[in-house]
Amino acid sequence: MTRSRARRGPWFRREMSAGRFALAMNLPTLVFLGLVLAYPVAYAAYLSVHRVGLAQLRRGEFPFTGWENYGRVLEDPLFWVATKKTLIFTFITVGSEVVLAIAIALLINQAGIWTSRITRVLILLPYAIPPICNGLIWAFLYSFQFGFLNRILFSLGLIDNPVNWAGNPDTALYAVTVPYIWRTLPFAIILVHAALQGIPRELYEQAAIDGANAWHRFRRITWPMLQQIIAVILILRTAFAFAVFEEILAITQGGPGDATWVAAWYSYKITFSPPNNFGMGSASAFILTLMVAAIALVYLRFVYRRVTL
Amino acid sequence: MFKKTPAERLLLHFANLMVIVFILLPVAAVFIGAIQSEKTLQADTRRLLPLEVTFDNFAVILSRGEQKGRIFEQVTYLPDNIKSFYTALANSTIVAVSVTFLTLLFGSLSAYTIARQRYRWTLFLLQANIVARFVPVIVLMIPLYVVMRAMGQLNSLTGVIIAETGFLLPYAILILAPYFDTIPTDLEEAARIDGCTRLGAFVKIVLPLATPALAACGVIMFIVSWHELLIPLILNARPAFMTLPVVIASLVGDVHVFFNLMMAICLLALAPTVILVALLQKYIVEGLAAGAVKG
């Protein structure tokens, strides 16, 4: 029956089976994922075990070197500096973002405070700023000679001499965390805010009747209800902070010295500045990917799993 | 719900003020930087608000470096790349519009089947997309450069569009799939009984219902693509194929850094997405939440 119905009419009118239909619908996605994600990732793995420099690219022959690139990366002191800087950067940005996101989401959730409405309207603004522009704007803010931040501090009488925020090796890494937090905080706030809307009001009303104060209400109701979303934020933000690039390029370019030489910057410099060691660049980028992939698997296994799709 | 004491209200207002100042600080800086000359910036390094207001920075960018105005008339060196502002604007627009269109098209096809057809492989595809979202651009850069070089797609917009579409598709699917999952199947089933094909039911029934999700996903795709730096930076080295972020990044390592000029070009580059965010805030909020967890 079904077979005969399916065979009637021209091919484009014919009915596909559900399985074939699903496959046909996913063909473009599979092609793109294969071409732009799977193949390049596999190819990066391939490049990372071969010698690939400009000379080899021109000739089109990549001699196999085994683990040599990984060995050279792991022996490079700068790689360990970069790993350390990346971990510090990630720890500071993600930690601050979680705390700030909860605080600000609770703040914009306050009824009857008119300034909260202004904050709520402005909260998404940083999301609209291109990361490279964000970096440059903060480079201008931090500028030693005529930076805006020093001007403000002068006007408030807080400093007497200009401070070189991004040019001092002791403060540079902290200086680049602020723009990054500024740009990526809206995402975290929006998630916490959305989770807050899902907490039934009755819980708070009941708690108030029972005489719980604001801190108790937060500790016993809000915090437990937010844990799931905080796990999501922690994981997503950690994975992305690991690969921070634009703000580093715009503000410090890894400097001063190696003060802000983070992992993505390390891979970028090794690959795209002379002597263009693509093999070693791939190896270092691959190590970065493995770290992020570990985070992604945790996310998939423990956090996204409750999705009922 | 809970009465607040005047002290609490004051504290909350103060906290709001702090957040607002923090959000607006860079925005104020970019405006103030864009409307003055380097000379004024250097003349008084402590003054908060500038004495002069000039639009010469914008004029020199918008006239491709020809109309130097008062503040650049004695300047012998101007960064070459600011002359390609219009080309970069056009390139950015072409790339962002194409990437938005392609990710929406392919993303909705995929997201719909992932939401509707539960096979082992569609579930696997969903999981692959979740993991793919985490792949750092930097790891793709090196092989993408080598692959595009082999395909002759360096210095072309097509190469950038293909790369960005592939990179953003998983995110689009993650935003759209939960939404398709919430659309009841009754209407499609009714249409199918009336003789509609599967594709027909999807195009005629489901897609129109999914307009809000498509808007949310589309605006996010446009913004992310408009902001993307690394992909076009590495694939396109010639000025004729640079996008706005690449032109802006090229000013960083230049011989002379004109902060006032950079602030002006940043302001021009961030304006389109700021306007989008202002107009479509509601959709963006929904899309961001949907893409992170099933809402």
Let me know if A217 is exposed, middle or buried by CB neighbors in 10 A (0-12, 13-18, 19+): middle
Q: Which of B250, B258, B259, B256 is nearest to B232 (CA)?
A: B250
Q: Please name the residue that has the structure tokens 């020809």.
A: B66
Q: What percent of chain B has pLDDT over 70?
A: 94
Q: Which residue of B has its CA nearest to A304?
A: B293
Alpha helices in chain A (DSSP H): 2-7, 18-32, 39-48, 54-59, 68-75, 77-108, 114-122, 131-142, 148-155, 172-197, 201-209, 214-217, 223-241, 246-251, 263-272, 278-298
Length of chain B: 295
Rg for chain A (alpha carbons), in Å?
26
Q: Do A151 and B47 touch (CB under 8 A)?
A: yes
Q: Which residue of A has its CA nearest to B122?
A: A22
A99-149 confidence digits (pLDDT tens): 999 999 999 988 888 888 899 899 999 999 999 999 999 998 998 877 888
B155-174 confidence digits (pLDDT tens): 889 999 999 999 999 999 98
| DSSP state, residue A309 | -
- Report whether A141 contacts A147 (CB < 8 A): yes
B201-240 confidence digits (pLDDT tens): 888 888 898 899 999 999 999 999 999 999 999 898 888 8
A258 vs B111: CA distance, rounded Å: 44
Q: What's the gap in Å between the CA of A217 and the closest CA on chain B?
A: 12
Size of interface A-B (CB pairs under 8 A): 323
Q: CA separation (Å) from A19 to A16, B119, B198?
A: 8, 8, 11
Handedness of CA B4, B7, B13, B19 (dihedral sign): negative
The set of residues, in sequence order, having a beta carbon less than 8 Å from that of B120 and lying 6+ positions away, is none
- Report whether B100 contacts B159 (CB < 8 A): no
Q: Do B26 and A239 touch (CB under 8 A)?
A: no
Q: Which residue of A has its CA nearest to B270?
A: A129
- pLDDT at position B224, please? 94
Average pLDDT over residues B187-200: 83
A145 vs A252: CA distance, rounded Å: 15
| DSSP state, residue A15 | P
Distance of CA B22 to the CA centre of its chain: 22
Q: CA separation (Å) from B118 to A18, A21, B2, B197?
A: 10, 13, 46, 19
A260 vs A78: CA distance, rounded Å: 11
Q: Do B110 and A141 touch (CB under 8 A)?
A: no
Q: Report yes or no: A289 at the B interface, CB cutoff 8 Å.
A: yes
Q: Do B146 and A47 touch (CB under 8 A)?
A: yes
| DSSP state, residue A224 | H
The set of residues, in sequence order, having a beta carbon less than 8 Å from that of A224 and lying 6+ positions away, is none
The set of residues, in sequence order, having a beta carbon less than 8 Å from that of A3 and lying 6+ positions away, is none
- pLDDT at position A86, please? 92
- The token pair at A121 is 């309207």
List the single best residue of A2, A11, A32, A266 to mutate versus B (max B Cβ within 10 A): A32
Q: Which residue of B has its CA nearest to A28?
A: B106
Q: Where are the domains of chain A?
A: 69-306
Residue scoring higher pLDDT (A165 or B76):
A165
Q: Which of B188, B190, B177 is nearest to B109 (CA)?
A: B177
- Report whether B122 contacts A15 (CB < 8 A): no
Residues of chain B with Cβ-Cβ distance to A155 below 8 Å are 46, 48
List the single best residue of B16, B165, B222, B258 to mutate versus A (max A Cβ within 10 A): B16
Q: Report yes or no: A268 at the B interface, CB cutoff 8 Å.
A: yes
- Report whether A276 contacts B262 (CB < 8 A): no
Q: Which of B232, B257, B259 is nearest to B247 (CA)?
A: B232
Cis before residue A28, ω within 30 degrees of 0? no
B288 vs B40: CA distance, rounded Å: 42
- pLDDT at position A174, please? 93
- pLDDT at position A4, please? 43
B2 vs A289: CA distance, rounded Å: 48
B122 vs B120: CA distance, rounded Å: 6
DSSP A48-98: HTB---HHHHHHT---B-TTHHHHHHHH-HHHHHHHHHHHHHHHHHHHHHH
Q: Do B167 and A236 touch (CB under 8 A)?
A: no
Specify whether the backbone of A242 is left (phi greater than 0), alpha (psi in -120 to 50) or beta.
Answer: alpha
Q: Do B23 and A204 touch (CB under 8 A)?
A: no
Rg for chain B (alpha carbons), in Å?
24
Cis before residue A275, ω within 30 degrees of 0? yes
Q: CA separation (Å) from B125 to A45, B113, B192?
A: 22, 10, 26
The shortest CB-CB distance from A246 to any of B134, B135, B229 is to B229
- Report whether A187 contacts A270 (CB < 8 A): no
- The token pair at A37 is 């994600």
A173 vs B284: CA distance, rounded Å: 31
B20-51 confidence digits (pLDDT tens): 999 999 999 898 888 887 777 777 777 777 77
Class of the domain covering A69-306: mainly alpha
Interface of A with B in 101-140 (CB under 8 A): 103-104, 107, 110-113, 115-116, 118-119, 121-134, 136-140
Res. B73: pLDDT tops 80: no
B210 vs B180: CA distance, rounded Å: 7
B119-160 confidence digits (pLDDT tens): 888 888 888 888 888 888 887 888 888 888 888 888 889 999
Tens of pLDDT, residue by residue, chain A (309 residues): 344 444 556 666 666 787 888 888 888 889 888 888 888 888 888 888 888 888 887 787 888 888 888 888 888 888 999 999 999 999 999 999 999 999 999 999 888 888 888 998 999 999 999 999 999 999 989 988 778 888 888 888 888 888 888 888 888 999 999 999 999 999 999 999 988 988 888 888 888 888 878 888 888 888 888 888 888 888 888 888 988 988 898 888 887 888 889 988 998 888 888 888 888 888 888 888 888 888 888 777 776 655 433
B238 vs B84: CA distance, rounded Å: 11
Res. B192: pLDDT tops 50: yes
Interface of A with B in 227-266 (CB under 8 A): 228-229, 232, 236, 239, 242-243, 245-246, 249-250, 253, 264
Res. B86: pLDDT tops 60: yes
Q: Please give the span between the terminal C-alpha atoms of chain B, in angstroms, as a whole number.
A: 26
The CATH code of the domain at B84-258+267-292 is 1.10.3720.10
Q: Provide the 10 A C-beta neighbour count for residue A35.
A: 17
Q: What percent of chain B has pLDDT over 90?
A: 34
- pLDDT at position A106, please? 92
ipTM: 0.90
Q: Where are the domains of chain B?
A: 6-80, 84-258+267-292
Residues of chain B with Cβ-Cβ distance to A267 below 8 Å are 138-139, 142
B21 vs B37: CA distance, rounded Å: 25
